[in-house]
A = this chain, B = another copy of it.
Amino acid sequence: MTEGRQVKAPTIIDIAREAGVSKSVVSRALLAQGGVNKETRRRVAEVAERLGYVKNAMAQGLVAQRTHTIGVLVRNVTNPFYGHLQAALEERAAQRGYRVVATTGTGAFELTQERKALQTLLSLRVEGLVVCSGLLSAADITPFVQHVPTVVAGRPERDPALGSVYCDEQDGAAQLVSHLTGLGHRRVGVLRVPRRLSITQYERGTAMERELREAGAEPVVVELDERPDSVARAIGTLTAARDGAEAVTAAMCPSDHAVLRAVEALQALGLSAPGNMSLTGFDGVAPLSTPLLGLTTLRQPVPEIGRRAIDLVLDQPDARPDDAPHLGLQGTLVIGRTTAPPHPRG
């Protein structure tokens, strides 16, 4: 019966022939923009339906010079934070009548791959671009902003040519620090991700260090690296770090995921959190942000980041590359069971 060969998708010309009208009429009928006999319109619609017609976005976009599409570049969908962000972007875009096409990396640190993904999006002539990647630098992006309104979401970006929406790391760090110092911690470890691995997380670490200092506490910064046991090593270093009689009683991690690794590391040493060391995270996103785990963390306002990013992109059709807006949104402190007052030193 149905010969299974691949069939070329029908065009408006096919519909026109089938319905016995010109392609102009079909176009108008399908666009539902009036000026077409009601009966004709019905017939066209019927034929289109029967043929399984799907408009060709390329042809349409080519002539209309509009695509109603926003491109989203996500670095690593494997990370739930980016997954949530992507969903938020998608939702807002839909509300405003735009489609979203996303390209994403596998999480590997492939800069060239990210550049290629960027090209893909650009070649689709998206009307706006949201970059969600801790890796791609401003220099990679700026050459194109003059053609497409571009916003960096999820990380602070100082470049004046690029808009950005992100969680205010400084404020977040301050909230976490104030929680820790309020509990009585004085010497606090900071696990810092090097800048080359993630701009966001690096800045986060810097902010934590600064805030600790301002709060009169003593930050003990340990640099992480790409090795899988990096966090474990850092925790090892911190548990050994004792300044005179004073030990490190808390550690601030760059992400919730890192907190998990830290807890494991403590357990491996026969220690526990918050018993021997309080731990704080960052992100506050499901599924790690669950009462069961009870992480103390800073929840990023992901839905709002997504919303504002889309709005920023759509509301500045002609970018003024010299003072793009930078929105630092406040996160929320989530107090869990990984922080407690420091134990009397034993």
Residues of A within 8 A of B (CB): 2, 4-9, 52, 54-62, 67, 76-80, 82-84, 86-88, 90-91, 94, 99-107, 113, 117, 119-120, 122-125, 143-144, 146-147, 149, 257, 260, 263-264, 267, 286-288, 290-293, 317-322
Contacts and interface: CB of A to CB of B under 8 A. Distances in A.
A102 B102 contact: yes
Given A57-B124, A80-B287, A90-B106, 18 more contacts: A2-B321, A4-B318, A4-B321, A8-B147, A9-B122, A9-B147, A55-B123, A57-B123, A57-B125, A58-B58, A78-B87, A78-B286, A80-B80, A99-B103, A102-B102, A102-B103, A260-B290, A263-B292
Contacts of A147: 6-9, 52, 54
A54 B9 contact: no
Contacts of A124: 57-58, 101, 124
Contacts of A106: 87-88, 90-91
Nearest to A69: B120
A57 B59 CA distance: 11
Most B CB contacts (10 A, CB to CB) among A2, A55, A123 go to: A123
A102 B101 contact: yes
Nearest to A2: B321
Oligomeric state, in copies? 2
A303 to B, nearest CB: 10
A25 to B, nearest CB: 21
A4 B322 contact: yes
A112 to B, nearest CB: 11
Contacts of A287: 80, 257, 260, 287-288
A290 B287 CA distance: 12
A60 B105 CA distance: 24
Contacts of A102: 101-104
A241 to B, nearest CB: 23
A264 B102 CA distance: 35
A2 B319 CA distance: 12
A92 to B, nearest CB: 10
Contacts of A90: 103-106
A2 to B, nearest CB: 7
A125 B80 contact: no
Contacts of A322: 2, 4
Contacts of A60: 123
Contacts of A58: 57-59, 61-62, 67, 124-125
A286 B261 CA distance: 12
A311 to B, nearest CB: 17
A150 to B, nearest CB: 11
Most B CB contacts (10 A, CB to CB) among A58, A113, A286, A318 go to: A58
A134 to B, nearest CB: 16
25 contacts: A2-B146, A2-B321, A4-B318, A6-B147, A7-B146, A52-B144, A54-B144, A56-B123, A56-B125, A57-B125, A58-B58, A58-B59, A58-B67, A77-B86, A78-B84, A82-B83, A83-B83, A87-B106, A90-B103, A90-B106, A99-B120, A101-B102, A257-B287, A263-B292, A287-B287
Given A6-B149, A9-B147, A292-B260, A87 B91 contact: no
